[in-house]
Amino acid sequence: MIGNRSIYILLTILLLSCESETRSSLEVSNIRVFSPMPGSSAGVAYMTIINNGENSVTLNGVRSPQFEYVEIHENVLNDGIVRMRHLDTVIIYGGDSAIFEAGGKHVMLIGAQPDTAVGSDITLELYYDDGEVSVTTTMLNRLSSE
């Protein structure tokens, strides 16, 4: 019994250490949040998520306290036609990165809270299969930031 318990404890420690290793291996950089255009309810966030670990990590969703709901989209340009598609998950393989940028993958921010404007701090909560990472940045005006 004691032997089994020790194995369980050891396994738990091992799993926890793997989890924290995978999470700490993620690096979020080049984060830009652009405010919704006048008359439009949707803002957009761009970033680069680098997976410095060996194992693949899945991004299952994004939330933000400053927006009603957040969706991950991808614009696909095919034969000159842009098609926007929902992504339920984004897999970032070990040693690889996911780039969210204009015309490609992007995080669509819908329904800004009333006091959210250019200059507001925006928090993005990134939900991975093994945990959560929060990043905060200032919301920008696209035209004056390009």
Partner 1 sequence: MDRISKIVAIGFVTIALTGGSLFLYYGLHSVRAEPQYSTVLPSAMDLPQFNLTQHNGTRFTRDELRGSWNLVFFGFTHCPDICPATLTQLAIAKSQLAAEGYETPNIVLVSVDPERDTPDKMAEYLSHFGSDISGLTGSTEEILKLAKALGIFFAKSANPNGDYSVDHSAAILLIDPNAKWHALFQAPHKIEHFVRDIPILTGAR
* 63 is an interface residue for partner 1 by CB under 8 A: no
CB of 143 to partner 1, least distance (A): 5
74, 120 Cβ separation under 8 angstroms:
no
Query: Whose structure tokens read 């995080």?
Result: 107
- Measured between its terminal Cα atoms, the distance across the chain in Å is 64
Which 71-90 residues touch partner 1, going by CB under 8 A? 71, 73, 75, 77, 80-84, 86
Across 62-98, b (16+ Cβ under 10 Å) vs e yields bebebbeebbbbeeeeeeeeeeeeeeeebebeeeeeb
* 142 is an interface residue for partner 1 by CB under 8 A: yes
Comparing CB distances to partner 1, the nearer of 18 and 76 is 76
Plot region of 80 (φ>0 → left; ψ -120 to 50 → alpha; else → beta): left
Side chain identity at residue 54, one-letter code: E
Comparing CB distances to partner 1, the nearer of 103 and 119 is 103
Which 89-128 residues touch partner 1, going by CB under 8 A? 102-103, 106, 108-109
Which 25-54 residues touch partner 1, going by CB under 8 A? 34, 36-44
Nearest to 123 by CA among 43, 48, 66: 66
CB of 20 to partner 1, least distance (A): 33
Q: Which residues bind partner 1 (CB under 8 A)?
A: 34, 36-44, 69, 71, 73, 75, 77, 80-84, 86, 102-103, 106, 108-109, 141-143, 146
